[in-house]
């Protein structure tokens, strides 16, 4: 028997959901409340617990403790009802590469029990939506990585799910293919409840209504992209492009400004108060040739670095 949430605006609710693998805690008691029609991003590095969380919500992995409901249905007590209203585009695409796009979509439609006419209609709509119609009769093995990702998303949409899970939908794609995939995901915003996992900061910033930053199985921040950046808006970020920048000079600055990271051709310094003239004078005293200095806007990368003390990398 399914449970009904008290707030019908909520699509996904978790309460203290955890997953251990032996002594390793992959997900550590997280609480989430995701609204219907929201595009919600789980942002974090590889191994942070994003995919494990998705698998628990999709009834593919039992939580060690805690509960989760999807559209009012308990994932443990009523997994069949949950699976009828969700679909997943996984990291590893489940595409039959010897078939063409039409055949892959038709196969998925028949698995979901749709009749021939309904499958044809749905496939035509999805191929058009995902920009694949002109090459729909080519074998998938001839597709680019971006086209395969878009086909994978289309296959997850065949069943017309109420909730769509996209696990690293642009993993390994080149920047152009990634942006093309973003455009197609944006078309779905507001029409479906979408949970997106990613470790691409720009992706989460561009697509998500709200973001949960997850690290080592814990949610360390939650809010809109703007709210997360505003949370450290009192921080100043200075970028110094310079030649002959030695480790000795950088370590000397770290005694005053601990949050320094090396960037291409220089350094980035972050603090609540930065004395620009003092920094320039110090570097010159160390015989560093300064090419330029600039003040940078706070990014999600700065938020993650501020919260964890480390950069978010692939």
pLDDT score recorded for residue 40: 98
pLDDT score recorded for residue 3: 44
- Distance (Å, whole) CA 38 – CA 97: 32
Percent of the chain, pLDDT > 70? 97
Does the structure show a pLDDT above 90 at 172?
Answer: no
Does the structure show a pLDDT above 70 at 54?
Answer: yes
- The counts of H helices and E strands in the chain are 11, 14
Residue-wise pLDDT tens digits, 145-159: 889 999 999 999 999
The better pLDDT of the pair 92, 132 is held by 132
Whether the CB-CB separation of 235 and 271 falls below 8 Å is answered with: yes
* Beta-carbon contacts of residue 223 (< 8 Å; ≥ 6 apart): 210, 211, 231
Tokens for 79, please give them: 């997994």
- pTM comes to 0.81
Lowest mean pLDDT among 83-97, 148-162, 300-314: 300-314
Q: How far is CA 17 from the centre of its chain?
A: 19
What mean pLDDT is predicted for residues 146-173?
91
pLDDT score recorded for residue 71: 96
- Distance (Å, whole) CA 153 – CA 169: 8
- Distance (Å, whole) CA 163 – CA 89: 11
- Distance (Å, whole) CA 12 – CA 235: 34
C-alpha closest to that of 156 among 207, 114, 198, 108 = 108
Q: Domains for the chain: give ranges and CATH numbers.
A: 10-230 (3.40.50.300), 236-297 (3.30.70)
* Cα torsion angle, 270, 276, 281, 284, sign: positive
pLDDT score recorded for residue 4: 42
Residue-wise pLDDT tens digits, 262-282: 888 899 998 888 888 899 999
Whether the CB-CB separation of 214 and 182 falls below 8 Å is answered with: no
pLDDT-based confidence at 313, cuts 50/70/90? low
């Amino acid at each position: 028997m399914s449970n009904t949430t008290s707030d019908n605006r909520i699509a996904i609710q978790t309460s203290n959901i955890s997953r251990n693998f032996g002594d390793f805690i992959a997900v550590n008691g997280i609480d989430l409340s995701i609204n219907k029609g929201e595009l919600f991003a789980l942002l974090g590095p590889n191994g942070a617990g994003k995919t494990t969380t998705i698998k628990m919500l999709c009834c593919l992995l039992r939580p060690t403790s805690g509960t989760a409901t999807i559209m009012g249905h308990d994932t443990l007590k009523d997994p069949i009802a949950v699976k009828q209203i969700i679909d997943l585009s996984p990291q590893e695409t489940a595409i039959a590469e010897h078939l063409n796009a039409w055949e892959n979509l038709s196969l998925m439609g028949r698995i979901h029990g749709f009749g021939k006419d309904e499958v044809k209609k749905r496939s035509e709509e999805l191929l058009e939506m995902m920009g694949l119609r002109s090459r729909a009769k080519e074998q998938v093995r001839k597709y680019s990585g971006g086209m395969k990702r878009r086909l994978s998303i289309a296959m997850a949409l065949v069943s017309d799910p109420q909730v769509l899970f996209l696990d690293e939908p642009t993993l390994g794609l080149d920047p152009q293919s990634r942006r093309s995939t973003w455009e197609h995901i944006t078309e779905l915003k507001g029409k479906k409840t979408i949970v997106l996992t990613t470790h691409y900061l720009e992706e989460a910033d561009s697509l998500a209504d709200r973001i949960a930053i997850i690290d080592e199985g814990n949610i360390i921040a939650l809010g809109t992209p703007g709210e997360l950046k505003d949370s450290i808006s009192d921080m100043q970020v200075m970028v110094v492009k310079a030649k002959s920048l030695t480790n000795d000079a950088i370590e000397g600055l770290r005694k005053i400004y601990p949050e320094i990271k090396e960037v291409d051709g220089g350094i980035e310094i972050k603090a609540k108060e930065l004395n620009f003239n003092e920094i320039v004078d110090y570097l010159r005293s160390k015989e560093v040739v300064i090419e330029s200095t600039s003040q940078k806007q706070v990014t999600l990368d700065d938020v993650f670095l501020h919260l964890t003390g480390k950069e978010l990398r692939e």
